[in-house]
Amino acid sequence: MTISLLKEEFLEKLNLASKFTSSRLVSASILQGVYLVGEENIIHVYSTNLNYYFHTSIKAPGKNKFNAAVEPKKLAELLSLLPGGKIDISVGEKNVEIESGKIKAEFPLLDAKEFPLPPKITGSKQKIKAGFLRKNLPTVIFSASSDETRPALTGVNFVADDEGLKMISTDGFRLSLLTLKKEESLPSMIIPAQFLNEVMRLITEDEIGFSYSPEEKTMVFYVGDCELYTRLIEGDYPPYEKVIPTDKKTTAAVDREEFLRNVKLVSIFARDYSNVVVLNIEKGEVSIRPKTGDTEKNVVVSEAAVEGEPQKIAFNYKFLIDFLTNTTSKKIIIELLRSDAPAVFKPDGVDNFIHIIMPVRIQ
């Protein structure tokens, strides 16, 4: 069977699908492949790593009855080098052939008999404003953990109640908490942060759809002509309220861009000292230096409006940079209780978001 498709469209869909294949060396090689299902006038494209599922489709006039699975990387590499326009795809029993002008290439098919299709979603389809996700998700996603031994921490925790919606993320060393009014109908659940990142990359329209199945513990986002499914993370989220300080002894207001630049400057030297930078906060300034015995060298000073007693506190500089690059406020407020207590960082003028970073103990 031979199908004619636009190379550009096929390559785009293949690249999207490949983002949701498994990158692990698993016994089921089919999880590293993209599954193509031909029906009348349409070709479905599926991929999965068993945590996430992807589905999209390509219009293809004709009675395209076939099932085939291919390894996408080499195929996408070939397609990227072909001239634009129509290509012919011939699907056989063991191979798929790509033809463009005088160029012919053949790729082996994977065994697609047991390819896992996306779960059925029983919940009704709802709409959510894309601007809501674009504005709010970046403020919390970066704080989620990448350590899969603690699954709950790899997600963003959505907590919905009558008053509104909270979005929380933490990796045990830092925490982001965003409190919102009840504008969208998202339920309480823990959604994988990595999955939300992929959804964010695909959003181009003003609204997207979503459905939620509590029975299947699954959520699907409808983005354009793509469907993105994820298994929700089960388990108890840690009691984040306990790490939020209720008191402070020092407050410092700094210019975000200047502070970020100074942290990056000191990080050049801090990499040799466990990535730790020391902040010395006193009247009118916040000085930053790497964790060394010498307090005279490699010190950068940021002007600051300081209230309260002088403090010295140390952090992993990477956590500071992550926070400062994921907020757009002109000024940042730093609130400290003592050198061994969690520190609060707030964008100036924003009262519904706080970021907490655990300090590093130093002599």
Q: Please state the domain extents for the chain.
A: 2-108, 126-241, 244-357
Share of the chain above pLDDT 70, in %: 97
Confidence of residue 204 (pLDDT cuts 50, 70, 90): confident
The arithmetic mean of pLDDT across residues 215-232, rounded, is 93
**What DSSP string describes 271-325?**
TTTTTEEEEEEETTEEEEEESSS-SSSS-EEEEEEEEES-EEEEEEHHHHHHHHH
Return d(Cα 126, Cα 187) in angstroms, integer. Answer: 12
Check whether 26 has a pLDDT greater than 60: no
Q: What pLDDT is attached to residue 181?
A: 87
Return d(Cα 222, Cα 350) in angstroms, integer. Answer: 31
**What DSSP string describes 12-53?**
HHHHHHHTTS--S--S-GGGGSEEEEEEEEEEEEEEE-SSEE
The arithmetic mean of pLDDT across residues 219-235, rounded, is 94
Check whether 182 has a pLDDT greater than 80: no
CATH number (1.10.3720.10, 3.10.150.10, 3.40.50.150, 3.40.190.10) of 2-108 reads 3.10.150.10
Check whether 24 has a pLDDT greater than 90: no
Q: What pLDDT is attached to residue 273?
A: 84
Q: What pLDDT is attached to residue 124?
A: 85
The arithmetic mean of pLDDT across residues 144-168, rounded, is 93
pTM of the model: 0.89
- Inter-residue contact 140 to 166 (CB < 8 Å): no
Here the tokens at position 320 are 């500071």
The CATH homologous superfamily to which domain 244-357 belongs is DNA Polymerase III, subunit A, domain 2 (3.10.150.10)
Q: What pLDDT is attached to residue 295?
A: 61
**Range 313-329 burial, b when 16+ CB lie within 10 A, else e:** bbbbbbbbebbbeebee
Tens of pLDDT, residue by residue over 246-305, are 999 999 999 999 999 999 999 999 998 899 999 999 999 999 999 876 566 778 999 999
Check whether 101 has a pLDDT greater than 80: yes
Confidence of residue 28 (pLDDT cuts 50, 70, 90): low
The arithmetic mean of pLDDT across residues 37-52, rounded, is 93
CATH topology match: 2-108 vs 126-241: yes
Q: What pLDDT is attached to residue 285?
A: 95
Share of the chain above pLDDT 90, in %: 78
Return d(Cα 21, Cα 30) in angstroms, integer. Answer: 9
Greater confidence (362 vs 14) lies with 14
Count the helix, strand and coil residues of the chain and give each as a percent rounded to the nearest 5.
20, 45, 35
Sign of CA dihedral 106, 44, 223, 84: positive
Check whether 27 has a pLDDT greater than 70: no
Confidence of residue 362 (pLDDT cuts 50, 70, 90): confident
Confidence of residue 25 (pLDDT cuts 50, 70, 90): low
Q: What pLDDT is attached to residue 291?
A: 87
The arithmetic mean of pLDDT across residues 82-105, rounded, is 93
Q: What pLDDT is attached to residue 29?
A: 80
If one looks up domain 126-241 in CATH, what number appears?
3.10.150.10
Mean pLDDT of the chain: 92
Tens of pLDDT, residue by residue over 230-262, are 999 998 999 999 999 999 999 999 999 999 999
Return d(Cα 246, Cα 348) in angstroms, integer. Answer: 18
